[in-house]
């Protein structure tokens, strides 16, 4: 199967002291061990940069741009980047229209659009609830990986 890693998984990789850090690492190791294809996309990197550079007191990681770039390069070395194609916008527009998406949920819809355009079927995420509306994909919490 072809998987996309949600941005929250990538953020936990960068936080060794976080309670979900080990769960994120363990789930990806198990999936890789089963021969699953794990990918990231530009949307992940953009979201990662936004959260990682945001101050700690504003629910961010408070990292410097230099440190974030180093972390992104590390992620890119472990996980192939799904390509941005012209199909993504068309899929995104269809999703936000058919599911009546509003507000910040448009970002999740774009991740789903990337998945559809690149034939990825599964999303590894700590926020499965946010993706339940999308019958086009399967969202899986790291604790569900056996």
- pLDDT tens digits, 107-132: 999 999 999 999 999 999 999 999 99
User: What's residue 19's pLDDT?
Assistant: 94
Q: Cα–Cα distances in Å, from 61 out to 14, 55, 57, 70, 87? A: 9, 6, 9, 14, 33
User: What's residue 3's pLDDT?
Assistant: 98
Going through the chain in order, the beta strands assigned E by DSSP cover 2-5, 37-41, 81-82, 122-124, 138-140
Phi, psi of 86 (to 5 degrees): -65, -20
pLDDT in tens, 20-50: 999 999 999 999 999 999 999 999 999 999 9
Residue 66's pLDDT band (boundaries 50, 70, 90)?
Answer: very high
User: What's residue 43's pLDDT?
Assistant: 95
User: What's residue 8's pLDDT?
Assistant: 97
User: What's residue 15's pLDDT?
Assistant: 93
Taking the C-alpha atoms of residue 13 and residue 58, their distance in angstroms, rounded to an integer, is 20
User: What's residue 27's pLDDT?
Assistant: 98
Residue 70's pLDDT band (boundaries 50, 70, 90)?
Answer: very high
Taking the C-alpha atoms of residue 21 and residue 122, their distance in angstroms, rounded to an integer, is 20
Mean pLDDT of the chain: 96
Residue 63's pLDDT band (boundaries 50, 70, 90)?
Answer: very high
User: What's residue 38's pLDDT?
Assistant: 98
CATH of domain 2-83+119-144: 3.40.50.1010
């Amino acid at each position: 199967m072809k998987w996309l890693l949600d941005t929250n998984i990538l953020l936990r990789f960068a936080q060794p002291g976080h309670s979900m850090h080990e769960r994120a690492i363990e789930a990806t190791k198990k999936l890789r061990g089963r021969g699953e294809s794990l990918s990231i996309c530009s949307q992940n990197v953009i979201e990662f940069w936004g959260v990682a550079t945001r101050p700690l007191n504003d629910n961010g990681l408070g990292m410097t741009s230099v440190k974030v770039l180093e972390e992104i390069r590390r992620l890119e070395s472990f996980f192939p980047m799904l390509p941005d194609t012209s199909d993504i916008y068309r899929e995104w527009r269809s999703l936000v229209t058919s599911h009546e998406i509003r507000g910040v949920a448009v970002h999740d819809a774009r991740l789903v659009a990337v998945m559809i355009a690149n034939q990825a079927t599964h999303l590894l995420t700590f926020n499965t609830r946010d993706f339940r509306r999308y019958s086009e994909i399967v969202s899986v919490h790291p604790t569900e990986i056996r």
